[in-house]
Amino acid sequence: MSESPSGTIVTVIPNVVSEMPIPVMLAVIVVLVGLPIIFIKDALTRSKGAMPAPTDVRKAGKGNEWDKLNKHHTHKLRGSRKALATDVHARLLAPSFPYALCHGNPVDALAVSEPSSTKEMLSRDWEVTNRLELLRQLYWLLQEGHRKDFGHTREQCGNPSWVKNRLARLNEVADEQTDAWEERWRIHRFLNNDRGINDVDFGAWDFIRAAMLIHAGAALGFITDEEAWDTLAIINHALHMSYSSWDEAWDAFRLTRWLWAAKGQAQEAENDLHDRNRGEFLIGKNGLWTAIPWDLPSPTSRFLLLDVLATEGGLHLLSPSGWEDASAWEREFDTQTRTRAPMSIGGKPIVQ
């Protein structure tokens, strides 16, 4: 048998290993064994829609928080991610995904994991304890929601005298009233155009929260499945009239949420990390929304929500000035309302 030439890799590696101190050798073994495990762990994490903590997050010492958010946002699917692309019901439920992730609910079914805590959340955060209260909240979100107030404040910020007077008034009571402090915060954001907030369409904030309410309300039996699917079709249509992609809708939602959650810098940083992580589960490479084509057709709504509220006298029409300022979606919604709105004694529809 011929001997291996001196200096070849066959002889060098054993020589190096034989001369290597035992602690160093053990460290090398740990690295060689650990690297494949890390790669496998990362691959499994990505397959669930999550992403290992980005470099900047790790450097900022927020790696553990990111890992906790990965667990918090790991989705629950009745079917498969691939099936979302052709599942009509999953398409209708898609706007509710952001909150289904946070609440630990199945994303592709009208079900909740913890009915008691869901019921408590609706009562505490939305003052919804029954069917009619839910329907009225949905109607408010679809007709005007927070976008009306935010839009009004943004418009008024173009008037220096209004800004001066309003801030003076808010400064007098800001320490005593949380609402005043938050409004002052928002005014400064508009004045500085922080994060490009002056160009944001606030509708996604209202539409996605409405989808969350439908998901929860249907699971608790406040509305029928038929009413839920029909109203989710309204929301999907509203999003399509307002945005051109899931990415654009998500940006609008998270920026409006940032504007709404005026809690100070510490809370702002926490919210940013939360929504950055949640965004990975929605529009990341293996995200839920990424699996659903934006242009996938959804059923046409019959506007059952308006039919029910018409019998309760709960419909209101836009005023002429309101119609002038309304978006294309809001005008369409108002047109549907006009076919069902109650008439006053004088024969004229009730307007806001």
- Residue 351's pLDDT band, with cuts at 50, 70 and 90, is low
Task: Tell me the β-bridge partners of 247.
Answer: none
Structure tokens at 71: 């667990």
* Integer Cα distance of 234 and 256 in angstroms: 21
The stretch 206-220 carries a mean pLDDT of 98
- CB–CB of 284/49 below 8 Å? yes
Q: How confident is the model at residue 215 (pLDDT cuts 50, 70, 90)?
A: very high
Q: What is the pLDDT at residue 21?
A: 72
Whole-prediction pTM: 0.84
Please compute the mean of the pLDDT values over residues 188-207 and round it to a whole number.
97
Q: What is the mean pLDDT of residues 280-294?
A: 96
Distance, in Å, from the CA atom of 111 to the CA atom of 237, rounded to the nearest integer, reads: 23
- pLDDT of 22 above 90: no
pLDDT tens digits, 239-271 = 999 999 999 999 999 999 999 987 777 889 999
DSSP-derived secondary structure letter, 199: G
CA distances to 76, 82, 84, 109 from 79, rounded to whole Å, are 9, 9, 8, 9
Nearest to 186 by CA among 199, 169, 203, 198: 198
Residue type at position 245: S
The model's pLDDT over 141-168, given as tens digits with 9 standing for 90+, comes to 999 999 999 999 999 999 999 999 999 9
Q: How confident is the model at residue 337 (pLDDT cuts 50, 70, 90)?
A: very high
Is the Cβ–Cβ distance between 215 and 229 less than 8 Å?
no
Query: What pLDDT shows up at residue 345?
Result: 36
- Beta carbons of 152 and 187 less than 8 angstroms apart: no
Mean pLDDT, the chain, whole residue set: 87
Mean pLDDT lowest for which of 118-132, 168-182, 288-302, 316-330? Answer: 168-182
Phi, psi of 113 (to 5 degrees): -75, -35
Q: 3-class SS at 343?
A: strand
**Predicted confidence band at 347 (pLDDT cuts at 50, 70, 90)?**
very low
Per domain, the residue ranges of the chain are 65-292
Tokens 């509305």: give the residue. Answer: 223
- pLDDT of 28 > 70? The answer is no
Q: Is the pLDDT of residue 293 over 90?
A: yes
pLDDT of 100 > 50? The answer is yes
Q: What per-residue confidence (pLDDT) applies to 42?
A: 47
Q: What is the mean pLDDT of residues 203-229?
A: 98
Mean of the pLDDT values across residues 78-91?
93
Of 73-82, 91-100, 228-237, the one with minimum mean pLDDT is: 73-82
Nearest partner of 239 among 324, 155, 190, 301, judged by Cα: 301
